[in-house]
Amino acid sequence: MGGVAFLFAGQGAQVPGMAADVQDAPKVRRLFDLAESIRPGVVDKMLRGTQEELNRTLLTQPTMFLADLAYAYVREEERGAPDCVCGFSVGEVPALCFAGVLSEADAFRTICKRAELMEAYTERVRGCMIAVVGLSPDAVESLCDGENTHPANYNGSKQTVVACSLAAEEAFCAKVKAAGGRAMKLRVSGMFHCPELQPEAEEFEKFLRGLTMNAPRMDVYANLTAQPYAGDFAYTLARQMCSPVRFTATVAAMKARGVEEFIEVGPGKVLTGLIQRG
């Protein structure tokens, strides 16, 4: 029998009412009560907020954390613990919490801190995320200038997401079209996983160094390395903010270790869809 991996969804998968179908599970209710004690109103916004409200980074990240972790708890209750986990961007924090690296309280405070830093960053640097479909990663890299445009998420053989400044958006989309690809702007509020975020990543690392991090109960594959977390966990998680998400390589590494079933925990089926398309 092949191995099982839980995939924790990332920013962009948020939808109104997410996790409403699992909110009454005892472990989920305790998680939501804890979150309310730290950030009052967050659960109500997750369950009843509008799409526009949920798309704001300051709210997207803590609500995605809660939804991802809630679904993971229920799936584990239904079928047992997975052999390994990975989280896509913001999903890496609930993945680490699920694996026991961070306590629920520390993990929720961590996601709130990450959201605050990235929300402030979106005011400092104006940008967006553009999914390029139909071109190889190498082709997309050749269209990026390393200043206004950066490869940010390696999602598959024919989909790469690019962090793009607002000033360069129109010209970049025109280059994608000329190269035979299709450009789609994503439902996020800034340009992430690029070098512009380095100051925020450094501040995030300082915050993380004040937390207790435990050995994981299962392998957690890191976006930064596409390998299980090892060594300096705080550095690895902080550098993820300003580095590309290596999802394709991560899936390949998990398959190489024997994973045959990928279960997405979170709203929607974005990540399993990427795996199916290859």
User: Any idea which residues carry the catalytic annotation?
Assistant: 89, 193
Give the integer Cα–Cα distance in Å for 213 and 33: 23
Helix axes 26-38, 104-124, angle to 10 degrees: 50
Give the integer Cα–Cα distance in Å for 24 and 20: 8
For residue 215, what are its two tokens? 């050995």
Confirm if 101 and 214 have CB atoms less than 8 A apart. yes
Contacts for 224-229: CB closer than 8 Å, 24+ residues apart: 226/250, 226/252, 226/253, 227/253, 228/84, 229/96, 229/101
Q: How far apart are the first and last CA of the chain?
A: 23
What SS3 string covers 70-93?
HHHHHHHHHHCCCCEEEECHHHHH
What count of other Cβ atoms lies within 10 Å of the Cβ of residue 57?
22
Q: Read off the DSSP letter of residue 197.
A: G
